[in-house]
Structure 1
Amino acid sequence: MYKIMTPGPTQVRESVRKARSLECPNSDLDPAFFDYYKQTCELISSLLHTSEETLILSGEGILGLEAACASMTEPGDRVLVLDNGIYGKGFADFVSMYGGIPVLYTRDYLETLDVKELEEYLEKDHDFKYATVVHCDTPSGMLNDIRSICPLLKKYGILTVVDSVAGMFGNEVYAEESQVDILCGGSQKAVSAPPGLTFVTVSEDAKKAMAERKTPVASFYANLRIFEGYYEKQWFPYTMPSSDIYGLHQAMEDIRNDKDLYRRHERIGKAVRKALRESGLGLHLKSGYSNTVSVFDVPKDVTASQILNKVLEDSGILLAGSFDVLEGKVIRIGHMGANATYENVKETMEALDCAMRGLQVPLSASLAEVFEREYASK
């Protein structure tokens, strides 16, 4: 078996695997399970620093993104799509799918969004029902400052849908303070549970906008409104996957009990970036570095597949390439959640050192040595 060091899915802790093996209740009828679901949702809200309601949906993280857009979009709505990455641009498809008019605010894919520049744009045009924002754009590792961006949008009366699937729990999120209206997460990134669940935190402003729709949501499964009053009614709109939710709850307990979580992610992120720079591999991005994933350009005279295969075959470590406009151009190292330990990442740096030697890619410094030195200095 290989060691997963990709930016999702990530390694899954033994505590989570054990929780998933518990006896299954009838999640449609058992009152205790309704309590458990609600408690899990409240735990997630607390970890994201918000008093707003969280809902857990049965589906991979992309379901949360689509459900947010489906629930918020009516035909003819203008929606601002903040686009400085592949996933950022991808929101436009969801908006169009449900009859909205996506307006792309496209910026350099190598730079994090400039908040002052965005405000200059909004001064001229802010007639949007909501805006979509990607916190961490996983294909490139881009991190956008939602703590500044979302309050700015709210200032102009624009609601926000935020994709933090690959950002949260590696980069701390203050959802309520940041005035995020719908915040989307997923089980398989820094949460370090298996794929299969998404969760969304929904503000009162977002609920009001959904309640005031003039047309019904054009979906059943991708519809946040179908959960309204689920606890009072003791009724879920579809059968909840109890084992998945047991695992998610345990993963959230692990996060709550990990007092060094954000400091460790920051130390590892900085040390990996330092190692990539000093080795000569460099970083793909010019700014906006996430503490959950680091990305470097494929050196000349080798291919992404050669690097990935070499690391896997020689060291048993699975890294990731990318896709769309970045296909074959970059290598991604996932240092999030259970991946984000000193031992895991040092072993990964050693594997990359070995692979580059084998592929005759010259390095100006050892990735593992620089990582070890930089990590120890913090």
Structure 2
Amino acid sequence: MKFTPGPTAVPPAVREAMAEEQPNPDVDPVFAERYQALCEDLADVYDTDHDVVVPGGEGILGLEAAIASLVAPGDRVLCISNGLYGDGFADFVESYDGEAELVSAPYDDPLDLEAIEAALEDAATDGEPFELATMVHCETPTGTLNDLDPVLDLLEEYDVPSVVDAVSSLGGTPVPTDRIDVCLGASQKCFSAPPGLTTAAISDRAWERMEERDPSSLYTNFLPWQDVSKNFPYTHLSANVAALEEAIDRLFEEGLEDVYQRHEKAAERCRERGAELGLEVYPDSERSSPTVTAFRLPGKAKEIQQRVAEEEDVVLATGLGGLEDDILRFGHMGYNAEVEKVERAMDALERVLA
């Protein structure tokens, strides 16, 4: 049993859709119609009027493409972070010759609103405002769900466009997409489709800024996806598109509100079982995502992960970076957001800890 925070387990119907004979994505109009329908369905999942595009490439493609498409050399970018992926946005900015200012809080703290406001005010006072701000909704390596609305309020006040990584929250909990200029998702998390597709909801303001810039890449560039009525920028992943289409159909059959409630119930039960075992949630239960739970196991996470896999045939994930051996993560997202599966995974952990 795989119970990791992505790539998630893929349900049989999605695997079957991927295995079917696919239309030629370069010449068959059936594929173009399928792609357009998928984008429209994803707009409903995002709950947005923004354009939605689905390039071929794993979710990290979206993070890099957002920066490559919007950041010109010398542009100042405010990178807001309390986690590994938030910090990583600064690396992308610098790799495209932008100037990243990282406002980073400790990984178990909320986003630092005072420091964010101070950075915005200083930039405006100096006459060198930020061209863009980046942040993460769900920091998968720690299971932290960030409250974006107070930050988005500040960015709107200072007229700074936003890029948000919602890869591990989209489809598992509501995302304030209409307040975000580029909101990023991916197929392999809450959608429970195979890895291989990025999703992005893009505002009119973001498209306009992309048109003003001169991206140095075709692949890491959203602009060619703005209008694919005649042809796609490159050969699309037709089987992956079919799989994601089936995965989204499953969400609609269940109903998005019911999907969100299912994730909440799975998360609640996971944390209840952890408390019974004397485990502490990282960062805390109030700020943990409905899609991921991380438990503190300082210096023991890797050993416990290995034993659970070998003795119980249940695959869990540890933290990343400096937290690799200190937290153990349970991915109750997508197909795994079910109380019964949570019980099985926690039973396995309990037997190993005993």
Q: TM-score range by the shorter chain?
A: over 0.9
How do residues 313-328 of structure 1 correspond to structure 2 at under 5 angstroms?
A: 313-328=310-325
Q: CA 1:192 to 1:28, structure 2 compared with 1: closer, same or farther past 3 Å?
A: same
Distance, in Å, in 2 between the alignment partners of 1:322 and 1:299 is 11
2:252 aligned with 1:256: yes
Kept after mapping to 2: 8 A contact 1:112/1:143: no
The residue aligned with 2:288 is: 289
Give 1:283 shift.
1.3
The residue aligned with 1:183 is: 183
The residue aligned with 1:71 is: 69
Q: Percent identity?
A: 40
Distance, in Å, in 2 between the alignment partners of 1:50 and 1:249 is 18
The residue aligned with 1:280 is: 278
Look up the equivalent residue of 1:279 and give its one-letter code.
Answer: L
Distance, in Å, in 2 between the alignment partners of 1:312 and 1:106 is 34
The residue aligned with 2:234 is: 238
2:52 aligned with 1:50: no
Partner deviation per Cα, 1:124-183 (whole Å, 9 max, x = no partner): 33511111110011111111112332243122111011001111111112311xx10001
Distance, in Å, in 1 between the alignment partners of 2:306 and 2:243 is 31
Q: CA 1:274 to 1:115, structure 2 compared with 1: closer, same or farther past 3 Å?
A: farther
SS in 2 for 1:64: helix
Look up the equivalent residue of 1:319 and give its one-letter code.
Answer: L
2:352 aligned with 1:355: yes
> TM-score, length-normalised on structure 2?
0.94
Paired residue for 1:344, among 336, 341, 344? 341
Look up the equivalent residue of 1:197 and give its one-letter code.
Answer: L
Give 1:258 shift.
1.7
Give 1:202 shift.
0.6
Partner deviation per Cα, 1:313-339 (whole Å, 9 max, x = no partner): 222110011221112111111000001
Q: CA 1:299 to 1:105, structure 2 compared with 1: closer, same or farther past 3 Å?
A: closer
Kept after mapping to 2: 8 A contact 1:82/1:106: yes
The residue aligned with 2:9 is: 11
SS in 1 for 2:290: coil
Kept after mapping to 2: 8 A contact 1:111/1:288: no
SS in 2 for 1:26: coil
Give 1:120 shift.
4.7
Give 1:64 shift.
0.6
Kept after mapping to 2: 8 A contact 1:315/1:351: yes
Partner deviation per Cα, 1:334-355 (whole Å, 9 max, x = no partner): 0000011111001011111101
Structure 1: gaps (5+ residues): 358-378
Count residues with an aligned counterpart: 347
The residue aligned with 2:192 is: 192
SS in 1 for 2:171: coil
The residue aligned with 1:142 is: 144
Kept after mapping to 1: 8 A contact 2:282/2:288: no
Structure 2: gaps (5+ residues): none
Paired residue for 1:24, among 22, 25, 31? 22
Give 1:114 shift.
4.7
Distance, in Å, in 1 between the alignment partners of 2:92 and 2:116 is 22
Structure 1 runs of 4+ aligned residues shifted over 3 Å read 114-121, 123-126
> TM-score, length-normalised on structure 1?
0.88
Partner deviation per Cα, 1:77-100 (whole Å, 9 max, x = no partner): 000001210111011111011110
Kept after mapping to 2: 8 A contact 1:281/1:299: no
Q: CA 1:333 to 1:39, structure 2 compared with 1: closer, same or farther past 3 Å?
A: same
Give 1:305 shift.
2.6
Look up the equivalent residue of 2:98 and give its one-letter code.
Answer: G
Q: CA RMSD in A?
A: 1.5
Look up the equivalent residue of 1:31 and give its one-letter code.
Answer: P
Distance, in Å, in 2 between the alignment partners of 1:352 and 1:196 is 31
Distance, in Å, in 2 between the alignment partners of 1:54 and 1:114 is 30
Distance, in Å, in 1 between the alignment partners of 2:195 and 2:105 is 31
